[in-house]
Each structure stands twice: as C-alpha cells, then as structure tokens.
Amino acid sequence: MKLVNHLLDTKGRSVVSILPDASVFEAIKLMADEVVGSILVMDGEEMLGIVTERDYARKVILKGRSSESTRVADIMTREILTTSGSETVNQCMETMTERRIRHLPVVEDGRVVGMISIGDLVQAIITDQQEEIEHLEHYISG
C-alpha cells in the first residue's frame, strides 16, 4: 500500500494557508481560487487551525454571520488531526472515516509539508486496485 509521501510526490506538496486575522470572505475566495475545500490557518510556520467549507456553512451561514466581518480565527477548527509521510493511505482513510473529516495536514519534524484530502486517498486506492488487477491479468494470461 502506498504511503502518504508517495501520494504527495504525485499530487504535490503545496499548502494553501491564510492568516488568522483574515476575513472569512478572503478564506472562501482563496479556497475557490485554489479549488480546495480547506485551508490551513498559519502564522509563519506555526499551524494554528484549519478552515473548511463545512466550518463556513455551520459557523457563518447558519448563524447569520457576515463573511466579510467575521475573522478566520473566529471559526477555525483549532484541534487539528495530522498525519505523517510514513503513514499508509489506508491508515489515513481509516482515521478520516472514523473522525468524519475530509482533510489531513501532513507534518514532518514539526513542519507542514503537504495536505491530503479524502478524494486524494480514494484516487490512490483506485489506482492501486487497477494496478493490482492488471498485474493479476498478466499473471493469469502468462
């Protein structure tokens, strides 16, 4: 099974982040521009939290707050689950499913080195299964 590092080698290691004092509107715009469903809230190299589309829906829209006057720090999730590059795709899938989250920052030696989503994991599993099927077909056909 693939490791998170293999997944990051394929998808890239870029991390989209925003400052905690930015407006939620800026965060949502950044997510739309980058075509991502979450962004990390960072102060330099320090990860302070994560903001997701779900946070926006539940903590801004449903509460009738203004996305332009609400700060990212006011809605971010502060308790962040992370993973490392040595974790397997299956381990991450299990964690994300159990905890009902869709994004995991990848941390190595205290530094954020990437971000993976549930979609990245599904794609990696599908690719692995397709490769296994091809291998078995070649084995059977000789």
List, for residues 121-140, the tens digit of each pLDDT value.
999 999 888 888 888 888 89
pTM of the model as a whole: 0.87
> What pLDDT shows up at residue 72?
98
> What pLDDT shows up at residue 52?
96
Close Cβ partners of 88 (under 8 Å, ≥ 6 residues apart) = 1, 2, 3, 4
Which of the two residues, 142 and 3, has the higher pLDDT score? 3
> What pLDDT shows up at residue 66?
95
Q: pLDDT, tens digit, for every residue of 99-119?
A: 999 999 999 999 999 999 999
Q: Which amino acid is at 29?
A: K
> Do strands 38-43 and 103-108 pair parallel, antiparallel, or not at all (unpaired)?
unpaired
